[in-house]
Amino acid sequence: MMMNAESLVASAGINLGLAVVVLTLFSVLKRQPGNAPVYFARRIAAGEPPPSTASAPLSPGSSPPSASPTTTSSATAALTPSSSSASSSSEHEARGCNVDHFFSKHYPLTYQSYQIIHSEKNVEELLSLASSMERKVKKLQKQAVRKCNFWHWISSKFQPNAADVAVHEETLKGVYQRIRLLQCENVLKQKELPVAFVSFKSRIGAALAAETQQHVNPLLWITELAPEPKDVLWNNLVIPYRRLAIHRIAVFIAAFLLTVFFAFPVTAVQGIVQFEKLKKWFPPVKALQLIPGLSSVLTGYLPSAILNGFIYLIPFAMLAMASLEGCVSRSRKEMKACSMVFYFLIGNVFFLSLLSGSLLDQLGKSFAHPKDFPSHLASAVSAQSDFFITYILTDGMSGFSLEVLQLGLLSWHFIKAHSFGRETKERPYLYGFPYYRVVPIVSLAILIGMVYSVIAPLLLPFLIIYFLLGYAVYVNQMQDVYEIGYDTCGQYWPYIHHYIFVSVVLMQITMVGLFGLKSKPGASISTLPLLVLNILFNEYCKMRFLPTFRHSTIQIAKENDDRDEKEHIEGIQESTLNSYEPPWMRPVGFNQESSSLIQPLVSS
C-alpha cells in the first residue's frame, strides 16, 4: 500500500523546515566564541585560532599534538606468536630472547631490534588512578590560590586548605612510585606476552618478514605489517591468537541477534506506513483522522524519523562488537564495523522494509517458487518507493543538519561550562572521523538510488540534494571538527567497490523482475547478460586490484629504500621502535613545579 501525495508533501515540508531551522541555529551558534571547542575542535587542536575568535587565546590543552612518524610502520612488523609456542627454542626461555634469536638468525642483514609487549593490567589501573588524582590535585590547587573576598571567605569553610592539597600530592607521588616500580625491567620479565614489534633496517626487510610464512607450523610465528603507532589498539594485543576464532564467532552471534531484534521496530515502522491496514487491525487509530493533516504527518514523516533514530545507534553497537573481535588497529576495527553496519542496513532497512510491506503477503509464494523471486522483489520495491523517498529526505535534510549542529556535544559542552567545568578552560572535543558510520549509510543511499532510478525517478532529485548537502556538511566537518585519526591509504576502496557491486546486482535483479511484470520477456532476458558481465568485472577487479590492498609490494618498498638512501635519511630506524611503546610503559611523574605554587589563602 503506497502512501498518498499528502504524506510525501508533509514529509518534505517537515524535513525542509527542520533543516532550515537547524542550519540557521548552527550559523548563529558557530559564531559564538564559547562554542569553539565544539565547532572548531580540529583547528584548536592544531594550534590555529577559530575564524570567529582569531584574537582569543587558545586553551591550555589546545597545543598541537605531537606528530607520529609517518614512516615508522613501513620498517616495522608486528609479531604474534601463539602463547603455547612463543618459547619454542629450548636455549632461550624468555620470549624476548626467543624473538631476538629467531630474527637475527633468519634475517641477519635486515633485522634490527624488537619491542616485547608486557602485561599491563596492574599498571593501567594505577595510571587511571593517577590521572584521576592529578586532576583532583590541580583542581584543589586552583581553589587554594584564589584571592580572598567576602564570598570566598564564606566558601572557604567548605573548601580544602593547603594541608589537604599536600596530602593528596603525597598520595599521588606514592602511586607514581608504584607505577615506576612495576615498570622496572626485572618485574617486566615476568609479564612478557607473546606479542612483539620487530624493527628492520629497511622497508623491504619488513615487507618480506610480514608477507612470508616463518615456520612449517603456521601458528608458531605469525607476522604482519605493524599499523601506525597512533593506530594501534594496545589492549587487543594481549588477546591470544588461538582465542580470536572464538571472539569472531561470538561477535557474529551478537550481530545476528541484534539484527533479529531490530526487526521489531522496522516492522512497527512499516505498520505505521500502511495506515489503511493499521485501521483494520487496530480500529481506535481511526480517531487520528479527526485531526486534519495528522494522518499525513503520521504516515509521511514519523516512520522515516523513527527508523533513522534507531539506525543512528547501530554503528556504535557494531563498533563495540568489532572491538571485541580482537582487531589490533583502530582502522581495521572501523573497517570491520563498516561492513557489519552495511549488511545490517541492507538486511533490516532495505529487505525487511520490503518484507514488512507488500512482499510479506507473497513471502510464502517466493519460497515455494524461487524462480519467481525477481518478480516478487520488483513488485515489493515498486510498492515501497514512497517510503524510501521519505527515508532519503529524512536522512539527508534532517540527518545532515543535525550532524553539522553536533547537538549531543553542544548539550554536553553547555552543561559542563555551566556546572562543574566553569573553572577550567575547555579543551576541544576532538574525535576521529566516523568512517564506520558515514560510509555504510551513504552506501545504502547509493543502493536505494540505483534500485529506484528506473522504478521511481522522482527519487533522483532528492538523492542529488542528499549528496550535495552531505558533501557540504562533511567538508566542513573534516576541516573544522573531526580529526583524521589514521591514514586510510585507500583501504576503504575495496569495501566501497563491493558495496556498489552489491547495489548494481540488486538493481539488475529488480530490473529482470520488473520487465517480467510488464510482460516484456525480451527485456528481461537482455538484462541477464548485464548481470553476468557485472559479476565477471567484479571478479577481475578482485584479481587485479584487491591483492594490492592486502599485501605489501616489494617493488614499492625497494623504491622507497633507494629514495631514502639517495636523500641520506638517517635515524628513522632509531626512532621507529621507540614509537611503539605502550601507554603503560611511558615515563610518568607529577609536575613538581605546579605543587610548589600553592600559596596561603590570606597573603601576608
Per-residue pLDDT tens over the stretch 132-191:
777 777 776 666 555 444 445 555 555 555 566 677 677 777 777 777 666 665 556 667
Residue 62 and residue 44 in contact, taking contact as beta carbons nearer than 8 Å: yes
Name beta bridge partners: 79: 196, 223
CA dihedral 337, 343, 349, 354 (to 10 degrees): -170
Residue 196 and residue 232 in contact, taking contact as beta carbons nearer than 8 Å: no
Residue 224 and residue 80 in contact, taking contact as beta carbons nearer than 8 Å: yes
Per-residue model confidence (pLDDT) at position 201: 86
Residue 437 pLDDT grade (very low, low, confident, very high; cuts 50, 70, 90): very high
Give, for 115, the enclosing helix (H) or strand (E).
Answer: strand 111-118
Three-class DSSP category at 239: coil
Same domain, 252 and 338: yes
Between CA 63 and CA 57 the distance in angstroms is 11
Residue 144 and residue 160 in contact, taking contact as beta carbons nearer than 8 Å: yes
Same domain, 148 and 29: no
Same domain, 451 and 539: yes
Q: How far apart are the first and last CA of the chain?
A: 84
Antiparallel, parallel or unpaired: β 111-118 and 223-225: unpaired
Residue 345's closest CA among 374, 307, 371?
A: 307
Boundaries of domain holding 130? 123-184
Residue 64 pLDDT grade (very low, low, confident, very high; cuts 50, 70, 90): very low
Per-residue model confidence (pLDDT) at position 21: 93
Burial 84-122 (b: 16+ CB within 10 A, else e): eebbeeeeeeebbbbbbebbeeebeebbbbbbbbbebee
pLDDT at 526 over 60: yes
Residue 542 pLDDT grade (very low, low, confident, very high; cuts 50, 70, 90): very high
pLDDT at 446 over 90: yes
pLDDT at 79 over 90: no
Q: Number of folded domains in the chain?
A: 3
CATH number at residue 220: 3.30.70
pLDDT at 515 over 80: yes
Same domain, 13 and 160: no
Between CA 137 and CA 261 the distance in angstroms is 47
Q: Which range among 205-209, 290-294, 307-311, 352-356 shows the weakest confidence by mean pLDDT?
A: 290-294
Same domain, 334 and 454: yes
Same domain, 393 and 444: yes
Q: Which range among 6-10, 123-127, 360-364, 534-538 shows the weakest confidence by mean pLDDT?
A: 360-364
Per-residue model confidence (pLDDT) at position 150: 47
Same domain, 205 and 350: no
pLDDT at 576 over 90: no
Q: What is the mean pLDDT of residues 469-489?
A: 89
What is the torsional sign of CA 444, 445, 451, 456? positive
Between CA 561 and CA 202 the distance in angstroms is 6
Q: What is the mean pLDDT of residues 228-248?
A: 86
Same domain, 434 and 299: yes
Per-residue model confidence (pLDDT) at position 45: 86
Per-residue pLDDT tens over the stretch 3-42:
567 777 888 888 888 999 999 999 999 988 888 889 998 9
Q: What percentage of the chain exceeds 70 in pLDDT?
A: 70
Gyration radius (Cα) of the chain, Å:
30
Mean of all residue pLDDT scores within the chain? 77
Residue 88 and residue 220 in contact, taking contact as beta carbons nearer than 8 Å: yes
In a domain, 63, yes or no: no
Same domain, 284 and 404: yes
Name beta bridge partners: 78: 197, 224
Q: What is the mean pLDDT of residues 399-419?
A: 87
